[in-house]
Amino acid sequence: MLKVKNKILYLHGKKVGIITRDGKFITFRDEKKHLYRMYDAWGFSKEVIDFLDRIGVLLVEVATKRKIYRILLGEIMKYGIKHRNPKDKNELQILVPRKFFRTIEIEAKKETQKTLKEVIEK
Asked if 8 and 2 count as a contact pair (C-beta separation under 8 A), the reply is: no
**What is the percent of the chain where pLDDT is above 70?**
87
Of 116 and 17, the structure prediction assigns the larger pLDDT to 17
For residues 2-18, give the mean pLDDT.
Answer: 93
Global pTM? 0.83
For residue 1, what pLDDT is reported? 86
Residues 48, 46: Cα–Cα separation, whole Å: 5
For residues 80-103, give the mean pLDDT.
Answer: 89
Secondary structure string (H, E, C) spanning the chain: CEEEECCEEEECCEEEEEECCCCEEEEECCHHHHEECCCCEEEEEHHHHHHHHHCCCCEEEEECCCEEEEEEHHHHHHHCEEEEECCEEEEEEEEEEHHHCEEEECCCHHHHHHHHHHHHHC
Of 26 and 91, the structure prediction assigns the larger pLDDT to 26
Q: Where are the domains of the chain?
A: 2-107
Express each pLDDT in 17-72 by its tens digit.
999 999 999 999 988 888 999 999 999 999 999 999 999 999 999 999 889 999 99
For residue 116, what pLDDT is reported? 58
